[in-house]
């Protein structure tokens, strides 16, 4: 099956890059994203206290926030700092919010590890069991010998060597069957090779052993005791949880998982995860060379120096656990990195070095806390944090004068739109041809849900917001766009429903021509769509981009696949053209004109 799988994957990439969506080989579409409903109860579980009360100076906390906000490419969405079981600081880059769940990507691999640990503690599975033992009905004469020898231990340590990987999951309906029919690239257990399908198979093993899905199994054992509800975990075409990705959690719920491991698997007097599993899963089980910022890999958990460890997902979804400092750091973002190493790493390391060496007073100064609160309240995605300017205390005379002065009544519910925004009312921008999409390309790929291309954009004024209507074939989405502050709305493609927080700024280009920049953040995901309208000179130019942009990763994947298959199939495509197509996929451009 190996050659067929590779050829199918190559066809997928080439037709995708040529815009031949209807000719792409891919798995059947199944809805992945239902509408998220905000939790009715208070989402705050941990007490909120000043950082100095737990031994961390406010200045160090503020430096971390400002460092992450100022570093291009970090694209932070939320940051939560937990010490001694108390939240000492948290921040959410507008439009991201604490009451909306956020995608974890591969961070949830660590939760699958917890499930396996619970199962091992209950005696329903053993780490030396093979997939051949567990799925005898799926093993045939054609099952490769190495595949039959893959154990739960190999899956946990990413050492199975399976060639059936994340790309193949976009092409096949039955992932478990495909995994068991595809050979390995090396003897299982001999070395580390990251593959999310290993985690998927762990979830399938738990279902085989218990007759329950991952969520059903974990609900009474982990989610309910921690107060994690609702839980949404994306499923494969066969109805199994993806396991290695696709789980959405509130940042505070991510922090609970880190705190649970700080407490050796114990929560409010109940041992949820066996203590020896916490110990074994967070120590080096296999060495790896793919990420220099980590010391090794445990059971679906990255190990760090000094006994620290990390639950990590791509694009910067991280739960750092530092036992020596009794601290948990949660970071969600839309960064470029697939693995733990990223632009946020040096800031986290520097902060923790400061925590380890500091001896602060038990109380921060009033000015330090005012500055920190100012920073936390001015976090905006894609925008710098303004400098804090402490206000001078007014004299008694000025206070009396201000109180005696009559004030005008202001209707705070009504905001006057700037002229340039009001002038868009009733206008429709017609693109020269279908181009790009409201939906980021990476999101379309991950959910196997592709747009036919953006055809037109219409505007209307509605209260203090612009209403933007995007037409993509039969799909029409109307979303509110805030000016200065984000407005929230839902958009959908097929049966997937996403909540977006959107806003627009007016600026000028290098020739001082007006440019409108729309940022549409999919606040439950790691993705943001950026649309720029260059209004002058004629014709209007539309440029799209997305964060995180995976241009480099897609380029490397495509070229690597072509190189590996050059002896097996003829390929005469021009490399430069292929690279151009990749650029246009991630950052499409089009001309447009106002429709009469």
Answer yes or no: same fold for 2-357 and 419-594: no
Alpha-carbon distances of 58 from 12, 328, 333, rounded to whole Å = 51, 17, 23
Decide if 546 contacts 441 (C-beta within 8 A).
yes
Hey, what CATH topology would domain 419-594 get? Lipocalin (2.40.128)
Decide if 111 contacts 247 (C-beta within 8 A).
yes
Separation CA 175–CA 181 (nearest Å)? 10
Question: What pLDDT is recorded for position 20?
Answer: 72
Helix (H), strand (E), coil (C) string for 170-181:
CCCCCHHHHHHH
Residue 185 has what DSSP assignment? S
532 burial (CB, 10 Å; 0-12 / 13-18 / 19+) is: middle
40 burial (CB, 10 Å; 0-12 / 13-18 / 19+) is: exposed
Decide if 246 contacts 234 (C-beta within 8 A).
yes
Give the pLDDT of the chain (596 residues) as one tens digit per residue: 566 666 777 677 767 767 677 666 567 889 898 887 666 545 689 999 999 999 999 999 999 999 999 999 999 999 999 999 999 999 999 999 999 999 999 999 999 999 999 999 999 999 999 999 999 999 999 999 999 999 999 999 999 999 999 988 988 999 999 999 999 999 999 999 999 999 999 999 999 999 999 999 999 999 999 999 989 999 999 999 999 999 999 999 999 999 999 999 999 999 999 999 999 999 999 999 999 999 999 999 999 999 999 999 999 999 999 999 999 999 999 998 888 999 999 999 999 999 998 776 667 789 999 999 999 999 999 889 999 988 755 555 554 555 455 544 434 344 578 999 999 999 999 999 999 999 998 999 899 999 989 999 999 998 888 999 999 999 999 999 999 899 999 999 999 999 999 999 999 998 889 999 999 999 999 999 999 999 988 899 999 999 998 776 666 655 555 555 555 544 545 566 666 777 777 889 999 999 86
DSSP one-letter string for 309-324: EEEEETTTEEEEEEGG
Separation CA 44–CA 81 (nearest Å)? 13
Alpha-carbon distances of 546 from 83, 438, 550, rounded to whole Å = 35, 10, 9
Question: What pLDDT is recorded for position 265?
Answer: 99
Half-sphere exposure (CA, 13 Å, Cβ side) for 564? 15
User: Across 212-306, where does the E strand assignment appear?
Assistant: 232-233, 247-249, 266-267, 270-271, 296-297, 302-303
Phi, psi dihedral angles at 528 (to 5 degrees): -135, 130
Separation CA 161–CA 181 (nearest Å)? 13
Q: Where are the alpha helices (DSSP H) in 425-509?
A: 441-446
Cα angle 57, 60, 62 (rounded to 5 degrees) comes to 110
Q: List residues bridging with 505 in a β-sheet.
A: 517
Cα angle 72, 73, 77 (rounded to 5 degrees) comes to 105
Other beta carbons within 10 angstroms of residue 216's beta carbon come to 13
Return the domain boundaries, the chain: 2-357, 419-594
Q: How far is CA 576 from the centre of its chain?
A: 31
Q: What pTM was estimated for this model as a whole?
A: 0.92
Cα angle 99, 104, 105 (rounded to 5 degrees) comes to 150
Other beta carbons within 10 angstroms of residue 237's beta carbon come to 15
Decide if 116 contacts 299 (C-beta within 8 A).
yes
First to last CA, the chain: 55
User: Residue 453 contacts by C-beta under 8 Å, 6 or more apart in sequence?
Assistant: 433, 434, 435, 436, 437, 472, 473
Alpha-carbon distances of 504 from 17, 19, 81, 483, 529, rounded to whole Å = 30, 29, 31, 5, 12
Separation CA 85–CA 266 (nearest Å)? 13
Decide if 215 contacts 233 (C-beta within 8 A).
yes
Other beta carbons within 10 angstroms of residue 120's beta carbon come to 17
CATH number of 2-357: 3.40.710.10
475-483 vs 496-508, strand pairing mode: parallel
Alpha-carbon distances of 425 from 461, 472, 545, rounded to whole Å = 5, 20, 25
How many residues make up the chain in this entry? 596
Decide if 192 contacts 339 (C-beta within 8 A).
no
User: Residue 132 contacts by C-beta under 8 Å, 6 or more apart in sequence?
Assistant: 139, 143, 147, 148, 149
Q: Extract the tokens encoding 524.
A: 């439950």
Decide if 328 contacts 82 (C-beta within 8 A).
yes
């Amino acid at each position: 099956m190996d050659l067929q799988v590779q050829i199918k994957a190559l066809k997928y990439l080439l037709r995708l890059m040529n815009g031949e969506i209807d000719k792409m080989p891919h798995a059947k579409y199944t809805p992945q994203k239902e509408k998220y409903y905000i939790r009715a109860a208070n989402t705050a579980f941990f007490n909120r206290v000043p950082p100095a009360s737990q031994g961390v100076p406010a200045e160090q906390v503020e430096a971390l926030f400002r460092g992450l906000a100022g570093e291009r490419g970090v694209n932070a969405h939320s940051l939560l700092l937990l010490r001694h079981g108390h939240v000492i600081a948290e921040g959410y880059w507008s439009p991201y919010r604490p009451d909306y769940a956020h995608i974890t990507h591969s961070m949830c691999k660590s939760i699958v590890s917890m499930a396996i640990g619970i199962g091992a503690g209950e005696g329903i599975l053993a780490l030396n069991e093979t997939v051949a033992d567990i799925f005898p009905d799926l093993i045939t004469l054609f099952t490769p010998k190495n595949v039959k020898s893959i154990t739960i231990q190999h899956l946990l340590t990413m050492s199975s060597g399976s060639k059936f990987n994340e790309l193949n999951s976009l092409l096949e309906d039955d992932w478990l069957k495909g995994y068991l029919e595809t050979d390995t690239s090396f003897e299982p257990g001999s070395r580390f090779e990251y593959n999310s399908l290993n985690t998927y198979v762990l979830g399938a093993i738990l279902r085989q052993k218990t007759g329950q899905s991952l969520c059903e199994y974990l609900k009474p054992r982990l989610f309910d005791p921690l107060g994690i509800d609702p839980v949404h975990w994306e499923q494969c075409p066969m109805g199994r949880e993806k396991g290695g990705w696709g789980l959405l959690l509130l940042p505070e719920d991510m922090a609970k998982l880190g705190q649970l491991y700080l407490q050796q698997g114990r929560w409010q007097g109940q041992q949820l995860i066996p203590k020896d599993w916490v110990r074994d899963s967070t120590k080096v089980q296999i060495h790896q060379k793919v990420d220099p910022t980590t010391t090794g890999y445990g059971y679906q958990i990255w190990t760090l120096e000094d006994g620290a460890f990390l639950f990590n997902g791509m694009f910067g979804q991280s739960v750092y656990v530092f036992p020596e400092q009794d601290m948990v750091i949660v970071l969600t973002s839309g960064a470029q990195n697939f693995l733990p190493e990223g632009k946020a790493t040096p800031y986290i390391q520097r902060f923790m070095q400061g925590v380890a060496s500091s001896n602060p007073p038990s109380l921060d100064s009033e000015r330090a806390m005012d500055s920190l609160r100012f920073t936390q309240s001015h976090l905006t995605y894609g925008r710098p944090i303004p400098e804090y300017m402490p206000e001078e205390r007014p004299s008694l005379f000025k206070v009396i004068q201000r109180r005696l002065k009559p004030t005008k009544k202001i209707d705070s519910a009504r905001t006057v739109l700037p002229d340039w925004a009001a002038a868009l009312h009733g206008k429709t921008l017609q693109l020269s041809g279908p181009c790009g999409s409201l939906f980021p390309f990476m999101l379309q790929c991950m959910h196997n849900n592709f747009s036919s291309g953006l055809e037109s954009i219409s505007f209307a004024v509605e209260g203090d917001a612009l209403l933007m209507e995007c037409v993509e074939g039969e799909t029409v989405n109307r979303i509110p766009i805030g000016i200065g502050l984000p407005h929230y709305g839902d958009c959908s493609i097929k049966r997937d429903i996403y909540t977006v927080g959107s806003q627009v700024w007016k600026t000028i280009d290098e020739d001082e021509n007006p440019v409108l920049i729309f940022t549409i953040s999919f606040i439950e995901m790691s993705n943001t769509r950026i649309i720029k309208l260059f209004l002058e000179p004629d014709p209007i130019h539309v440029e799209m981009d997305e964060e995180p942009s995976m241009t480099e990763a897609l380029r490397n994947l495509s070229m690597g696949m072509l190189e590996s298959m050059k002896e097996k199939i003829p390929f005469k495509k021009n490399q430069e053209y292929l690279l151009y197509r990749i650029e246009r996929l991630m950052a499409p451009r089009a001309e447009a004109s106002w429709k009469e």
